[in-house]
């Protein structure tokens, strides 16, 4: 599968950092407790250590019950250094320093296979194993660790293993189906679409992105001299003829019809223009880079973000496409033309190759697993 993905690397793509998995020692289940019907809670909190719930604001008061590390409770009130909480319908007071906020419904992706722990340490008991590219809900944080919920289980993992969430229900208006170009908000989507659409409308059909005179000369039968011993070989005119001949290889070798080739040639030249105008710096190892917005407005890029710009350009040109990745190390764009699905080699994939991609653990345009490429 990795070879197939690498084979489909397309124009302008820059490789991503390979993140190697880390082994951890194993651990217990932490289950988020449901809020009692009698609760008058105003906010959810999580215990940061073992603590006791007291009947009043004093450690000399009657102990109602103990709470273990990582227990979810509901805050009712605060007074001085004490917080009144409710847990499973029972109410009492705990020292405020033993509580931290619980962050609700913030979705992230885990960028490597890792274990969840019952505490914020690899010495804690293992709750479960989370596979790379799984979606988790972050519910709290402490130091360099985050508390997350996945598959009905809750535990801790290093915050550095979390990647910013991909497009979700905050984006409710798109032009091209599920393609959101990796952005996180509707405002980012609108900004990206407006910028590229304006450039497309103004420049795409211009002569500068079509065939030049050397392309036409080669199509008319003229050829360059490939003999390095010939005095003509280093001539500028000869060099441009050879470049044009090489560029036309997909057409000459029968991989594309002239209709398809002309469209792809113009589209990739326009994409070149966009990248040149909105220059970005290649950033290695930044796990939060993933969107066209990063390239066009933040000036930062990696393989994910560059392919999302390409996806939008291809959408505007009427070329069906999908961003495919192995979930951690790389992302590429595949596009569909009359000849079938293709990648950077401008050669149509076979049905068995498409089936292989569909059956692998890949993400497609950052939608949930299960999306399939139709052959």
- The boundaries of every CATH 2.30.30.40 domain in the chain are 43-101, 103-163
Which residues contact residue 156 at a Cβ distance below 8 angstroms, ignoring those fewer than 6 apart?
70, 116, 117, 118, 119, 120, 121, 124, 142, 145, 146, 147, 148
User: pLDDT tens for residues 140-178?
Assistant: 777 788 888 888 888 999 988 887 655 455 677 888 887
* Percent above pLDDT 90 for the chain: 45
Q: Which of 17-31, 161-175, 205-219 has the highest mean pLDDT?
A: 205-219
Task: Specify the range with the lowest mean pLDDT, choosing from 26-35, 85-94, 95-104, 122-131.
Answer: 26-35
- pLDDT in the model for residue 374: 78
pLDDT confidence band for 27 (50 / 70 / 90): very low
CATH code reported for the domain at 103-163: 2.30.30.40
User: pLDDT tens for residues 257-278?
Assistant: 999 999 999 999 999 999 999 9
Which residue from 358, 372, 367 is spatially nearest to 109, judged by alpha carbons?
Answer: 367
pLDDT at 34 over 50: no
pLDDT confidence band for 211 (50 / 70 / 90): very high
Q: CB of 154 within 8 A of CB of 70? A: yes
Which CATH number fits the domain 43-101, given the four candidates 1.20.1300.10, 2.60.40.1530, 2.30.30.40, 2.40.50.180?
Answer: 2.30.30.40
pLDDT at 24 over 70: no
Q: Which of 13-22, 41-50, 307-316 has the highest mean pLDDT?
A: 307-316
pLDDT at 89 over 50: yes
Residues forming beta bridges with residue 54, ordered by sequence position:
63, 93
Q: What average pLDDT does range 341-366 have in this prediction?
A: 81
pLDDT confidence band for 366 (50 / 70 / 90): low
User: pLDDT tens for residues 214-256?
Assistant: 999 999 999 999 999 999 999 999 999 999 999 999 999 999 9
Instruction: Give me 186's structure tokens.
Output: 């509707």
pLDDT at 282 over 80: yes
* Percent above pLDDT 70 for the chain: 80
Q: What is the DSSP letter of 292?
A: H
pLDDT confidence band for 20 (50 / 70 / 90): very low
- pLDDT in the model for residue 130: 93
pLDDT at 102 over 70: no
- pLDDT in the model for residue 6: 39
pLDDT at 100 over 50: yes
pLDDT at 347 over 60: yes
pLDDT confidence band for 287 (50 / 70 / 90): low
Report the mean per-residue pLDDT for the chain: 80
Q: Taking the C-alpha atoms of 43, 44, 48 and 52 in order, what is their torsion angle to the nearest 10 degrees?
A: 80
pLDDT confidence band for 288 (50 / 70 / 90): low
pLDDT at 105 over 60: no
Q: CB of 346 within 8 A of CB of 338? A: no
Which residues contact residue 223 at a Cβ distance below 8 angstroms, ignoring those fewer than 6 apart?
241, 245
């Amino acid at each position: 599968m990795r070879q197939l993905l690498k084979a489909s690397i397309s124009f302008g793509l820059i490789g991503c950092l390979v993140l190697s998995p880390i082994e951890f020692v194993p651990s217990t289940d932490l289950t988020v407790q449901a809020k009692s019907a009698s609760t008058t809670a105003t906010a959810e909190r999580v215990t940061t250590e073992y603590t006791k719930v007291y009947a009043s604001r004093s450690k000399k008061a009657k102990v109602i019950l103990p709470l273990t590390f990582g227990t979810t409770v509901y805050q009712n009130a605060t007074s001085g250094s004490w917080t009144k909480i409710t847990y499973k319908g029972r109410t009492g007071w705990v020292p405020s320093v033993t509580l931290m906020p619980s962050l609700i419904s913030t979705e992230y992706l885990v960028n490597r296979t890792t274990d969840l722990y019952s505490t914020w340490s690899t010495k804690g008991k293992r709750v479960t194993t989370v596979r790379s590219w799984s979606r988790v809900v972050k519910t709290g944080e402490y130091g360099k660790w985050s508390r997350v919920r996945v598959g009905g289980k809750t535990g801790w993992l290093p915050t550095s293993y979390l990647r910013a969430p991909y497009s979700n229900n905050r984006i409710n208006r798109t032009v091209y189906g599920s393609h959101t170009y990796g952005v996180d908000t509707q405002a980012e989507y609108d900004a990206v679409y407006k910028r590229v659409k304006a450039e497309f409308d103004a420049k795409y059909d211009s002569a500068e992105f079509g065939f030049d005179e050397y392309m036409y000369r080669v199509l008319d039968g003229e050829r360059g001299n490939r003999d390095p011993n010939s005095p003509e070989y280093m001539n500028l005119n000869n060099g441009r003829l050879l470049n044009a001949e090489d560029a036309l290889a997909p057409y000459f070798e029968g991989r594309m019809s002239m209709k398809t080739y002309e469209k792809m040639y113009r589209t990739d030249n326009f994409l070149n223009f966009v990248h040149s105008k909105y220059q970005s710096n290649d950033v290695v190892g930044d796990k939060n880079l993933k969107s066209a917005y990063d390239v066009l407005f933040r000036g930062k890029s990696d393989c994910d973000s560059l392919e999302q710009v390409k996806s939008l350009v291809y959408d505007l040109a009427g070329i069906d496409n999908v961003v495919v990745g192995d979930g951690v190390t790389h992302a590429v764009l595949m596009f569909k033309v009359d000849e079938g699905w293709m990648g950077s080699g401008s050669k149509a994939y076979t049905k068995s190759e498409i089936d292989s991609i569909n059956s692998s653990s890949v993400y497609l345009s950052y939608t949930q697993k299960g999306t399939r490429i139709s052959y």
